[in-house]
Structure 1
Amino acid sequence: MQPAIILVSDEHTAFLLDEFGRYARDYDLHTATSCKGALEVTRTIRDAGGQVALFVTDTELPDAHVLEAFHAWRTVVPTARRIIAAHWEHFLERAPALRPGMAKGKYDAYLLMPRGVRDEEFHGAVTELLSDWGSTVAKPEVESVRIVAPAPTALTLAIRDYADRMGMPSGFYTPDTEIGREAVLECATPGEPAYPIVSTPGRPSFVATSVRDVAISMYGAPGDVKVEGLVDLAIVGAGPAGLAAAVYGASEGLTTVVLESEAIGGQAGTSSMIRNYLGFPRGISGMRLAQRARNQALRFGTQFYTGWDVESLETRPDGTHLLSTGGGSVEARSVIVATGVAYRKLGIQAIEDLVGLGVFYGSAMTAAREMEGYDVVVVGGGNSAGQAAIHLARFADSVTIMVRRASLAETMSQYLIGEIAYNPRITVQPCSEVADGGGEGRLEWLDVRDTTTGAVTRREAHGLFLLLGAEPNCDWLPPSVARDRRGFVLTGRDIPTDLWSHHLPPESLATTLSGVFAVGDIRAGSMKRVAAATGEGSSVVPLVHTYLAPTT
C-alpha cells in the first residue's frame, strides 16, 4: 500500500485530482467533499495499516471550518502534512482569516490553486512537504545505512541518529532476518558474532564500536585524505557558522578545509524544523539546511573531513597553525573556531545510565519515531526544546515540556509558544525539574521536583529528551586563546583591554591569538540562533582576507 494524499473540496475535487495526477505513481490519491468524508477515508487508510502523507483542502468545507477539519484529521493522523489550496476567486479574500492559523502550526502552507498546467511554484511547495514527511515519518525506500544487532542499544540508536543527520536513510535488522544473516556471514570471525554490524554504501560490512567508526567508513578520516600543503583557511566545526564560513571562504578563492568530529550541521542539524530562518516560508529541517550548505561549499571546492576530534592547535613561529587530530593534521594560515556547544548534562547518574535507552540529549530525530504511543518529557525552554516537542507530538501520545522558570516567554520564540499552545498533545509544566528516574533496562519513570515547594512526585515516562543549555566545545584550544569564566571564546571588544595589541581592540570576531577567529555559539556573547550563526560565519571571511592580505 502506497502512502496516501487526500484531496478535499466540495466544488473542486475533480480539478484537484487532475492537478495531482503527477503523484499517482508514488501515492494513492483519495478524494472527499467534506470534513466528515475525509475523516472516514483517513480512518479506513489507518485501519488498513496505511499512511497518510498529505491533506490538501479547499478554503471552505460544507460541514466544518477548515481549521476545525485539520484538527479532526490530525487526531487520527498527526504525522500528515497539511495544505490549504485556495481557489483564485477567494485566495486574497480568505487569506487574512486563515493565515494566522499557519503561524500556530494548524497547517503547513496556504497556496494558490493552480491556474494552468505546470504550476511548478505550487508543486514545488507540495513536493517540499512530501519530502519532509518522507524523511521524518516514512520508512525509507532505499537504505544507505543498515545496522544489525539482536536488539536496539544506545550505540545502534546513536548510529541511526548520525545517519539521519547526514541525510542517509537507515534500517535496523536483527540477526535472524535475511539481511541480518548476510551481514553476520560477511563479518564472520571465530567465536560469537560481535554487534552492531553496519553496512554503508560501497563498503563491506563491519563491526562498529562507535559513531566515529561509521563516520570514517562513510567519509574517510582526515589521515586518509592528503591535504596538499598549507591551506588558507581551516574551519573547526560544521554547524551553521562553520558552513557559512566555508561557503564564503571557498567562493572567494581561499583554499578551505572543514574538520567536523560528528555530523555535518552540528546541534542545529538535529532540529526537526526551523520555521523562522529567512527564505524558507514553510520551514526547513536542520538536516536539510546543513546538507544544502555542505553541497554549496563542496561546489566551491571546500574539503570536508569528519570523524575525528581536533585535539590541539599549535601556532608556529612563522604564524602558521597546525591542527592535530587522531587521524592526521592540517596546516593552515588562518583558523576559524566554530565548534558550537554541547547540551549540558543533567548530572543524575541513574539518568545518565539510561542514555540511549529512553534518555536522549538533543532532539534525537530517530528516537522520535520510536516514541509512538508513549508519554515523553522534554526538558528545556529554548527554541530547540520547542521544536523537539512539536516533532515528538507527531508520534508520542503526550509530550510534557518541563522548565524551571514560570513560563516559556523569556527563552522561546513566540511563534513556537503559539504552536505549542495550540497542540493538544503538548503540555507545559513550569517550575519543575527532573530529580531522578529509572526502569527495567530502559526509562520507565521520572521523579519530578517542584522548584517552588520542593515536593517530589513520580510519573510514567518512556522518553526523556534533555535540551538543557550550552557548554562550550573548545578544551583543545591553547591558553593563549582567551575565554570567559564559562569557557566561551572571547572576541573583539569583549577581550580584556590588557590583552589588546597597541591599545587597539581586535577585530570583532578575532580572538587573542593572531590568525584565529571564533564564530557562532562558541563565541562569548553570541546570540544562540541559526541565522545569527550563519551571519557571523559569512561576516568573518572579510576579516580573514584582511589578515591574510599582507602575505598574499
Structure 2
Amino acid sequence: MSKPAILTVDDDPMVSAAITRDLRERYGKDYRVLGATSGAEALSVLDRLALRDQPVALIVTDQRMPVMTGIEFLERAQPQAPTAKQLLLTAYADTDAAIRAINDVGLDHYLLKPWDPPEERLYPVVDDLLEDWRRAHPSPTSDLRVVGHRWSESAHATKTFLARNHVPYRWVDIEEGEEGERLRQAAGASVEDLPLVLVPDGATLRCPSSMELADGLGLRTRAEQPLYDVCIVGGGPAGLASAVYAASEGLQTVIVEREAPGGQAGQSAAIENYLGFPRGLSGSDLTQRAVAQVVRFGAEMVVARDVTGLEQRGPVRAVLLDGQGEIEARSVIVTTGVSYRRLGAAEVDEFTGRGVYYGATASEAIQVAGEEVFLIGAANSAGQAALNLSRHAAHVTVLVRGSDIRSSMSQYLVDRILAAENITVRHRTEVVSARGDGHLESLTLRDRDSGEFEEVATSWLFVFIGAVPRTEWLGELVARDDKGFVLTGPEMLHAVDGAWTQPRGPFALETSLPGVFAAGDVRLDSMKRVASAVGEGAMAVHFVHRYLATI
C-alpha cells in the first residue's frame, strides 16, 4: 500500500510552503505530504488521491481563506476523505467558529497561529492525531485473520475480545468467497473448530477461549510477584486510574481484568463530556492512553482471568482466580464495574451473539451497513451507540421503556439523536420475543400503554439496559446491598449493623473488610460517569496509603 497522505491548505504561498516543509521534515518518511493554496485546489488533490486509492490521514487547513473558508473546505472534503483527521489553523478571533466546527463538521483539533516552534506547538498535536488514525487503520500486513461464520456466538466473542484488547485482525467469512473454506482446509480444521484464529508466526487457534487467545497473542495472563501492595480487580476507568496512581507512587501494583481493559467505557464510540477533550475521544482511545500510563509506571496487567473469590489471611488479602492461581496483596481495590442486564426472555437470549448483542464495540458499527437496527436503552451508553450505529445503518430505532428519554440521558446526546434523520425513538415500547432461523430475523414489540404487539424485521438488536454489579465473588466478607452493589465508608456503617469491627472508623471508600476498597460503578450510589470513576479510582489509592500505614 502507498504511503498515506497529509494534505495542507493555505492561501498564502509562503505559509503553505512553511507548514508543508515542517510536516515533511517530521513525517515525510511515513507519509506523503502535499500542499495546496486554495480549497478548490485541495479538493482536486483529494479527487486524485481517491482515484489512486491512496488514504488521507490528516488534513491541515487555514480558516481565513478567500472564496472558501477552512471550515467550508473541511465540510466539502468529508465525502472524499471521510476518515481523515482534521486540524484547523486559526487566529484567536476565530476560536468561536472553530469550536462550533467541532460539532458541525467533526473537527478534531484547532491550533492558533503561528505554530512556531513546531516542536512545541505543532508536532505534539499532529503526533496525537496521526497515532489515532494509525490505530483505526492498522497495516494489513500485521493483521491476524479470524475465519468463521457471521452468525456465530463464539466468533462474535473472539472478535470482541480482539477489538477490546486493540489487536488488529481481518475477518474472513466462511460463507463469502473461497478464501475462508481454503484456509479451513489448509488448517485441517472441521466446521466445529470454527472460528479459527490464524496468528502470524504463531499456532492456529481453534475456537479458542479468552484465556487461549490471550496466551496465543502473548498477553499476560499470570501475575509475576508473590506479594503486592495492592491488587486492583477490574480494568475499567476506575481500575486503570487506581493502577496509574498506585504504581506512580511506588506501590507494587497488579490489575486483574477478566476480559479487556476499558470496561463498558472502553466500548464507547465517543466520550464527549470528559474534561479536557472538547472534540471528545473514543473509549478505545481513552483506554489505550490509560494502559500506556499503567505500563509506563510499572504496574502489571493480567487479562482474561476471572476472579472467583476473596480470602482474608491475616494482614494479607488473597484474590482467587478461575482455574488455578491466586494473587496475594496487602490491599485490594474492587473496580469490577457493572454488566448490562439481560432481557430475560428466552426467545430473545437464545440469539445472543447471533443478532442480539449486549453492549457494542465502536468497530461493530461497520457490520450493520445499510441495515435496520434496533437498540434498547436510554442511558448515555445507549445514546452514544445509537449515534455511532446510525453512521452506517440505514435506520436505527431506539426502544425506551419510559416516557421521556431526557430523564436518563445527557441533553447533548438527546439533541443529536432527535436531530438525526435516520434515528427514531419509540417510548413506552419493549421487546417481548424474537424469531429467526440460525440468527435473529425479527422482533416482537409491545406498546406498554395499549398492549398492542408489532413484529418488525431486523437482524440486529443491541441491548444497553440496567446495571448488574460483578460482586458475587466477594462472598460474605464484604457487605453489599440487595442488588450486589458494594457498601463503603459511612454508608456501610448505617446500612449494616456490626459490619465494622475495627476501633478506627472506615475510610471513605473502604468496605466492611479492612484493606479492601471499592471505586467506580460497583460502589453503591456512585455517579456512573467516566470522570467520577477515574476520580474515585485515584482517591482509593490515597486511602490505601493510609491503610498500609496502619498495619
1:48-59 to structure 2, matched below 5 A, reads 53-59=57-63
Q: Compared with structure 1, are the counterparts of its residues 367 and 115 closer, same or farther at alpha carbon in structure 2 (3 Å cutoff)?
A: closer
Q: Which residue of the partner structure matches residue 509 of structure 2?
A: 509
> What TM-score do the two structures reach when normalised by structure 2?
0.85
In structure 2, distance between residues paired with 1:192 and 1:98: 54
1:21-420 to structure 2, matched below 5 A, reads 21=24, 26=31, 29=34, 33-34=38-39, 53-59=57-63, 73-74=77-78, 79-86=83-90, 91-103=91-103, 106-113=106-113, 115-116=115-116, 118=118, 121-136=121-136, 138=137, 140-149=139-148, 151=150, 153-173=152-172, 185=186, 187-188=187-188, 194-200=193-199, 203-219=202-218, 222=221, 225-228=223-226, 230-316=227-313, 318-325=314-321, 326-420=323-417
Moved more, 530-539 or 411-420: 411-420
1:480 paired with 2:485, answer: no
In structure 1, distance between residues paired with 2:45 and 2:530: 40
In structure 2, distance between residues paired with 1:301 and 1:115: 35
In structure 2, distance between residues paired with 1:121 and 1:109: 12
SS of 1:373's partner is coil
In structure 1, distance between residues paired with 2:464 and 2:111: 34
8 Å contact from structure 2 (residues 16, 37) kept in 1: no
Paired-residue identity, %: 38
Amino acid at match of 1:197: L
**Cα shift at 1:397:** 3.0
Amino acid at match of 1:329: E
In structure 1, distance between residues paired with 2:501 and 2:215: 42
Amino acid at match of 1:135: R
In structure 1, distance between residues paired with 2:279 and 2:413: 14
Please list every run of 5 or more consecutive structure 2 residues that lacks an aligned counterpart in the other structure.
Answer: none
**Cα shift at 1:170:** 1.1
Deviations 1:493-519 (A, max 9, x none): 111432343687521111111221111
Q: Compared with structure 1, are the counterparts of its residues 449 and 314 closer, same or farther at alpha carbon in structure 2 (3 Å cutoff)?
A: same
Moved more, 325-334 or 455-464: 455-464
Q: Compared with structure 1, are the counterparts of its residues 483 and 357 closer, same or farther at alpha carbon in structure 2 (3 Å cutoff)?
A: same
In structure 1, distance between residues paired with 2:452 and 2:133: 41
In structure 2, distance between residues paired with 1:336 and 1:380: 30
In structure 1, distance between residues paired with 2:457 and 2:68: 36
In structure 2, distance between residues paired with 1:541 and 1:488: 20
Q: Compared with structure 1, are the counterparts of its residues 438 and 46 closer, same or farther at alpha carbon in structure 2 (3 Å cutoff)?
A: farther
Q: Compared with structure 1, are the counterparts of its residues 130 and 502 closer, same or farther at alpha carbon in structure 2 (3 Å cutoff)?
A: closer
8 Å contact from structure 1 (residues 432, 451) kept in 2: yes
Moved more, 511-520 or 248-257: 248-257
SS of 2:229's partner is strand
8 Å contact from structure 2 (residues 480, 486) kept in 1: yes
8 Å contact from structure 1 (residues 495, 505) kept in 2: no
In structure 1, distance between residues paired with 2:121 and 2:279: 13
Q: Compared with structure 1, are the counterparts of its residues 459 and 146 closer, same or farther at alpha carbon in structure 2 (3 Å cutoff)?
A: same
SS of 1:412's partner is coil
Q: Compared with structure 1, are the counterparts of its residues 174 and 345 closer, same or farther at alpha carbon in structure 2 (3 Å cutoff)?
A: closer
**Cα shift at 1:427:** 4.0
**Cα shift at 1:69:** 5.9
SS of 1:433's partner is strand
**Cα shift at 1:448:** 3.5
In structure 2, distance between residues paired with 1:446 and 1:468: 17
Please list every run of 5 or more consecutive structure 1 residues that lacks an aligned counterpart in the other structure.
Answer: none
Q: Compared with structure 1, are the counterparts of its residues 14 and 291 closer, same or farther at alpha carbon in structure 2 (3 Å cutoff)?
A: closer
8 Å contact from structure 2 (residues 149, 173) kept in 1: yes
SS of 2:256's partner is strand
**Cα shift at 1:199:** 3.4
Deviations 1:192-244 (A, max 9, x none): 7722222346532221343332123334675x55432x322211111111112
Amino acid at match of 2:523: R
**Cα shift at 1:161:** 2.1
In structure 2, distance between residues paired with 1:171 and 1:323: 36
8 Å contact from structure 2 (residues 132, 285) kept in 1: no
Q: Compared with structure 1, are the counterparts of its residues 18 and 296 closer, same or farther at alpha carbon in structure 2 (3 Å cutoff)?
A: closer
In structure 2, distance between residues paired with 1:455 and 1:71: 44
> What TM-score do the two structures reach when normalised by structure 1?
0.85
Q: Compared with structure 1, are the counterparts of its residues 365 and 111 closer, same or farther at alpha carbon in structure 2 (3 Å cutoff)?
A: same
SS of 2:328's partner is strand
8 Å contact from structure 1 (residues 236, 336) kept in 2: yes
SS of 1:550's partner is coil
In structure 1, distance between residues paired with 2:210 and 2:87: 38
Q: Compared with structure 1, are the counterparts of its residues 411 and 29 closer, same or farther at alpha carbon in structure 2 (3 Å cutoff)?
A: farther
In structure 1, distance between residues paired with 2:65 and 2:456: 42
SS of 2:474's partner is coil
**Cα shift at 1:31:** 5.0
**Cα shift at 1:60:** 5.4
Q: Compared with structure 1, are the counterparts of its residues 20 and 333 closer, same or farther at alpha carbon in structure 2 (3 Å cutoff)?
A: closer
**Cα shift at 1:273:** 2.4
Deviations 1:384-436 (A, max 9, x none): 22222232233223333332334433322333334445544444443433333
Amino acid at match of 1:84: L
8 Å contact from structure 2 (residues 102, 279) kept in 1: no
Amino acid at match of 2:154: L
In structure 1, distance between residues paired with 2:104 and 2:504: 48
8 Å contact from structure 1 (residues 184, 197) kept in 2: no
**Cα shift at 1:302:** 1.8
SS of 2:446's partner is strand
In structure 1, distance between residues paired with 2:52 and 2:339: 43
Amino acid at match of 1:148: V
In structure 2, distance between residues paired with 1:336 and 1:169: 31
Matched positions, count = 540
